[in-house]
Structure 1
Amino acid sequence: MVGGEPDQKQHRRNGGQPGGRPPGFDTGIYRRRNTVQRCFNQLKGFRGIATRYEKTATSYEAAVTLASLLLWARSI
């Protein structure tokens, strides 16, 4: 059956809101998580960071720091 079984639909209706399950997330936590995810997506734009081209953890950390600095400088 498309859209779920009838008992699942009934349970969703009993969830509180007519459109389905009520949202159960904290907006502050979601906002911070979204900021971190967007930062990682911008860092992935740097090819060496996305592919982990650096061999040692120290040089990879330096590359991430440099890329973060460049992203910060662009935003000013």
Structure 2
Amino acid sequence: MLDHILRQVQGFERRHGYRPNVVFINRRHYRVLRHNYPGLFQADPSIELGFRIAVVPEDLMSQPEALFLRPPPQAA
């Protein structure tokens, strides 16, 4: 699962010229990651991925997807 996510990140970077800052995964993917890579989810993680993981319902996303989300505009 982590290999697939990292391939998504690398593909995004090749296409856009910069790394994504978030990868969306569904709950099933999240459970697999937590089981296989518990170090990702500690308060002081032993593994730094360089992007955030966002969990969405499975009916919205069946495969992991890497994106770059812009920060919201600053209030005047």
Asked if these proteins are the same fold (TM beyond 0.5), I'd say no
Greater percentage in helix = 1
Work out which structure has the larger RCO, using CA pairs closer than 8 Å and 6 or more positions apart in sequence. 2
TM-score (norm 2): 0.24
Larger Rg: 1 or 2? 1
